[in-house]
């Protein structure tokens, strides 16, 4: 595991990364998008070994994107928009079934994009939750409404087991390193619309190019 993923989680930092990933023309910078996810993985890593398989998958997907960014084609991977154009123009995407490019940038980002929807739903539930509400239930409901439809039975079951071990709401708020519960709610109020905007831009781009079912 990279050192950066062992460091203490800070919600504000994650928020900054997702903020920086939007250009004035509403393009999404992959470097900052990945950095936002890597920040979230720090929190995941502090939740215990039951979340290890999720963390591993998230790290592997962010690494695939970073490798593209560092490759000789790096400039084409600066933004999600330029990546989609480059991979489609050069037929670097397996459109119907896994084949020559099982780890294209487009299909890798699609997995994180679906997870971003889960995150958005989960954080909105957290933001509007009451003192006694259960994080495990919020997390499960957000998952069932989003990512679960893309996962096989075994992953759904394993995720369900991990959710049960989530800390209670107040302890979870503390892990975020923001301050009082009121301050957490305040930061979440800024985070959710931002994630929503990043999600929506990607969603429309993937719709336009018919990329929602990449295997």
- Residues within the interface to ligand LTTT4AJV (CB under 6 A): 11, 40-41, 43-44, 53-54, 57-58, 111, 114-115, 118, 123, 139, 143, 147, 150, 155, 159, 166, 176
Residue with Cβ nearer ligand LTTT4AJV (77 or 124): 124
Q: At closest approach, how far in Å is the CB of 73 from ligand LTTT4AJV?
A: 21
The residue among 77 and 118 lying less far from ligand LTTT4AJV, judged by its C-beta, is: 118
Which residue, 79 or 124, has its beta carbon nearer to ligand LTTT4AJV?
A: 124
Residue closer to ligand LTTT4AJV (CB basis): 41 or 93: 41
HEC string for the chain: CCHHHCCCCCHHHHHHHHHHCECCCCCEEHHHHHHHHHHHHHHHHCCCHHHHHHHHHHHHHHHHHHHHHHCCCHHHHCEHHHHHHHHHHCCCCCCCCCCCCCCCHHHHHHHHHHHHHHHHHHHHHHHCCCCCCCHHHHHHHHHHHCHHHHCCHHHHHHHHHHHHCCCCHHHHHHHCCCCCHHHHHHHHHHHHHHHHHHHHHHHHHHHHCCCCCCC
Q: How far is the CB of 87 from ligand LTTT4AJV (least distance, A)?
A: 16
Give whichever of 40 and 84 is closer to ligand LTTT4AJV, judged by the CB atom: 40
Shortest distance in whole angstroms from residue 192 CB to ligand LTTT4AJV: 10
CB of 6 to ligand LTTT4AJV, least distance (A): 14
- Supply the minimum distance, in Å, between the C-beta of residue 147 and ligand LTTT4AJV: 5
């Amino acid at each position: 595991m990279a050192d950066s993923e062992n460091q203490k989680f800070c919600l504000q930092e994650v928020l900054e990364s997702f903020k920086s990933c939007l250009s004035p023309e509403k393009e999404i910078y992959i470097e900052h998008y990945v950095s936002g996810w890597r920040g979230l993985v720090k929190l995941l890593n502090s939740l215990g070994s039951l979340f290890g398989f999720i963390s591993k998958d998230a790290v592997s997907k962010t690494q695939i994107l970073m490798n593209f960014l560092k490759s000789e084609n790096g400039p084409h991977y600066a933004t999600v928009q330029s990546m989609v154009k480059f991979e489609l123009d050069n037929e670097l995407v397996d459109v119907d079934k896994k084949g020559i490019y099982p780890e294209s940038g487009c299909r890798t980002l699609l997995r994180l994009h679906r997870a971003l929807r889960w995150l958005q739903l989960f954080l909105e539930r957290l933001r509007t939750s009451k003192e006694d509400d259960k994080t495990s239930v919020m997390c499960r409901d957000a998952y069932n409404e989003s990512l679960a439809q893309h996962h096989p039975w075994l992953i759904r079951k394993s995720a369900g087991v991990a959710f049960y071990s989530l800390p209670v709401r107040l302890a979870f708020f503390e892990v975020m390193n923001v301050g009082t519960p009121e301050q957490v709610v305040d930061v979440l109020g800024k985070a959710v619309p931002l994630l929503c905007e990043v999600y929506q831009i990607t969603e429309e781009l993937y719709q336009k190019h018919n990329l929602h079912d990449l295997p």
